[in-house]
Amino acid sequence: MKAAIWCAPYKVKVENVPDPKILNRRDAIVRLTSTCICGSDLHLVDGFVPFMKPGDILGHEPMGIVEEVGPDVDKNKLKVGDRVIVPFPIACGECFFCRRQLFSCCDNTNVKAYIPEQAFGQTLSGVFGYSHLTGGYAGGQAEFLRVPLADVNCQKMPGDLHDHQIVFLSDIYPTGYMAAWHCNIQSDDTVAVWGCGPVGQFTIRCAMLLGAGKVIAIDNGRTAGYRLKMAADAGAITIDNRAEDVYERLMDLSAGIGPDVCIDAVGLESHGHSPMETVYDKVETNLMLESDRPAVLRQAIECCRPGGTLSIPGVYGGFGNKIPLGALMNKGLTIKTGQTHVHRFVPELLDFVRKGRIDPSFVVTHRIPLSQAPYGYHIFREKKDDCVKVVLDPAA
Ligand SMILES: NC(=O)c1ccc[n+]([C@@H]2O[C@H](COP(=O)([O-])OP(=O)(O)OC[C@H]3O[C@@H](n4cnc5c(N)ncnc54)[C@H](O)[C@@H]3O)[C@@H](O)[C@H]2O)c1
Ligand SMILES: [Zn+2]
Ligand SMILES: [Zn+2]
């Protein structure tokens, strides 16, 4: 089959690789019909996650049709021919964490648990196509995907919705939802969202679904002006951080006290807010003195109102420097974060789509053949051709 392969930092190729096979009795093989490129994939391709090996298959936002099931897959839950989305975390459904619906913390599915145990103190779940830190599982930017514990990890979908209305249930739609849901949003709350990539776009819409009084979207108007426009189309007030002082604007928009909720939908590759800060983080990461560039986190802590909530869906990998812990502690901020517990949110969020409360297909700007994945990565990273979200078509 064809698959998008990580070769080296900044090098993705589409190659022919062996078809996946049933390895364990509860595996399924899914023939993929749509599979997406995520901002999290950029961290791998940009070399920020040091646990990739040449030949690893990328991708963790897939959907398709079940082609084959192992003998122990629960036939009442899943059978050949079912249409499914596959959440990016691989869960067992039975462990301490899964029983508490903390599926991305599942401690049964990461076959290389010793790596996160050393890096983070405990393991985290396996993830498709997301380095050997999360188990080294083959990813979904391919024609076929092997799904372990398939009756837990394949989520059945109805036949009457278009792929683009449901494929994002695998990741960015629940991620935007969890980022907002974590913050117990009230009707008079002002919510500020940093980053208008695909995750930011879903966060903005989900904050509105959850009843936020005012949503403010922040990004760079020079490189991502079209993304700010997509946020404005959803009803957000926008701030161009190249042209405006983010802190001053946020104070103006929140009666001088700062937003109640600040959401970092950017993560470890954020751009600094001054030339000094950008150079500082570049030098520190190049010298391996820090692994992450936490410019947005610093600014969000500074801007958030005392007693407010800071939510961090943006991915961090290791260590960041100059985090203003004094402000964080003295202002009494609450931090909520995590890889998304996707399985938990799928039924509720599918229902929102069915009821017409959100149509996730708004985010798709490009649908291209899987064979053009390197081009897809290029336009997504460089923000060419007004790219927000790339969906790859394995059958084209
Ligand atoms: N928690 C989870 O489970 C989960 C799931 C999916 C993605 N993510 C993470 O969410 C983040 C966003 O993903 P995406 O697909 O939207 O990525 P993306 O790269 O398309 O979007 C990031 C946006 O942030 C903007 N940005 C950069 N620096 C900024 C700054 N200083 N201020 C404001 N905006 C800034 C960029 O211009 C870009 O538009 C990534 O870190 C990704 O890894 C997390
Ligand atoms: Zn993702
Ligand atoms: Zn589990």
Q: What's the confidence (pLDDT) of residue 279?
A: 85
Write down the pTM of the prediction. Answer: 0.97
Does residue 317 have a pLDDT over 80? yes
Say how many Å lie between the CA of residue 103 and the centre of ligand 1: 22
* Span 164-207, pLDDT tens digits: 999 999 999 999 999 999 999 999 999 999 999 999 999 999 99
Q: What's the confidence (pLDDT) of residue 393?
A: 98
**Ligand showing the shortest atom-to-Cα distance for residue 97:** 3
Say how many Å lie between the CA of residue 335 and the centre of ligand 1: 18
* Span 17-67, pLDDT tens digits: 999 999 999 999 999 999 999 999 999 999 998 899 999 999 999 999 999
320 near 280, Cβ under 8 Å?
Answer: no
Q: What's the confidence (pLDDT) of residue 286?
A: 82
DSSP state of 321: S
* Span 321-342, pLDDT tens digits: 999 999 999 999 999 999 999 9
Say how many Å lie between the CA of residue 365 and the centre of ligand 3: 35
Q: What's the confidence (pLDDT) of residue 289?
A: 79
Ligand 1 atom closest to 196 (CA): 39
Q: How far apart are CA 184 and CA 287, in angstroms?
A: 40
Work out the average pLDDT over 109-135.
Answer: 96
The pair phi, psi for residue 287, each rounded to 5°, is: -85, 5
Q: How far apart are CA 53 and CA 42, in angstroms?
A: 15
Q: Which two tokens stand for residue 11?
A: 């090098």
Please indicate whether residue 91, judged by its CB atom, sits closer than 6 Å to ligand 1: no
Return the best residue to mutate from 175, 177, 266, 349 for the ligand 1 pocket (most ligand atoms within 8 A of CB).
266
**Ligand showing the shortest atom-to-Cα distance for residue 197:** 1
Q: How far apart are CA 108 and CA 340, in angstroms?
A: 17
Q: What's the confidence (pLDDT) of residue 218?
A: 98
For each of the domains in the chain, give its residue range(s) and CATH number, in order of start: 2-171+340-393 (3.90.180.10), 176-337 (3.40.50.720)
Residue with CA at minimum distance from ligand 1 atom 14: 39
Q: What's the confidence (pLDDT) of residue 99?
A: 98
Residues with CB under 5 A from ligand 2 (ion): 38, 40, 171
DSSP reduced 3-state for 20: coil
**Confidence bin at 291 (pLDDT 50/70/90):** confident
Please indicate whether residue 315, judged by its CB atom, sits closer than 6 Å to ligand 1: yes
With CA atoms as reference, report the closest residue to 140 among 69, 72, 208, 64. 64
Cα distances (angstroms) measured from residue 177 to each of 163, 168, 204: 19, 12, 9
Q: Which two tokens stand for residue 32?
A: 């993929």
Does residue 288 have a pLDDT over 80? no
Residue length of the chain: 396
Work out the average pLDDT over 153-173.
Answer: 98
Please indicate whether residue 176, judged by its CB atom, sits closer than 6 Å to ligand 1: no
Work out the average pLDDT over 10-20.
Answer: 98
